[in-house]
Amino acid sequence: MAKHDLSPTIGAAPPPADCPGGTLPSVPPGRLFEDEMRARLLENIERIRQTLQYDDSEPEREPDPFDEVARQVREEINISVRRCLIASRNDMRRALEDMELGCYGRCQECGSEISRRRLEAAPWARFCVPCQDRMEKNEFD
């Protein structure tokens, strides 16, 4: 007898994701929207990479010593900008990881859905507006 082993391994679902906000699937219209957000995240990450690289390769030209203070100020701004860019890039990478885990678009704090409008404005958003507000408020308390 022919032994046709056609075990249905195609499209096997990945193991349940270990999402802090729960293991529910991502926002229903899912795929397309997620693909679009992924593309935007990757684009942003690439842009940040280029910006960081550009800053690194900034030619050192110090025409005169009076420029020193200006240079220091510029450097300090540069450092905080870079810190900001790196933090944003980390958020973006985490959002991409969430996609891999299948919990993109879900608040990592309370597990509720993050609105599409919010994600469209900030594809790296990982918290719903109420949770984000609460956390920001706590930061300043």
| Residue placing its CB nearer to Zn ion in the complex, 45 or 128 | 128
**CA 123 to CA 93: how far, in whole Å?**
11
Q: Considering the complex, what minimum distance in angstroms separates the CB of residue 86 from Zn ion?
A: 25
Contact 84, 3 (CB under 8 A): no
The answer to whether 96 contacts Zn ion (rule: CB under 5 A) is no
Q: At what angle do helices 68-101 and 30-56 cross, to 10 degrees?
A: 160
Residues 101-130 that bind Zn ion (CB under 5 A): 107, 109-110, 128
Structure-block tokens of residue 3:
């032994």
Structure-block tokens of residue 39:
């593309």
Q: Considering the complex, what minimum distance in angstroms separates the CB of residue 42 from Zn ion?
A: 25
Q: Considering the complex, what minimum distance in angstroms separates the CB of residue 26 from Zn ion?
A: 15
Secondary structure class of 26 (helix, strand, coil): coil
The answer to whether 131 contacts Zn ion (rule: CB under 5 A) is yes
Count of positions on this chain that bind Zn ion (CB under 5 A): 5
Binding site for Zn ion (CB under 5 A): 107, 109-110, 128, 131
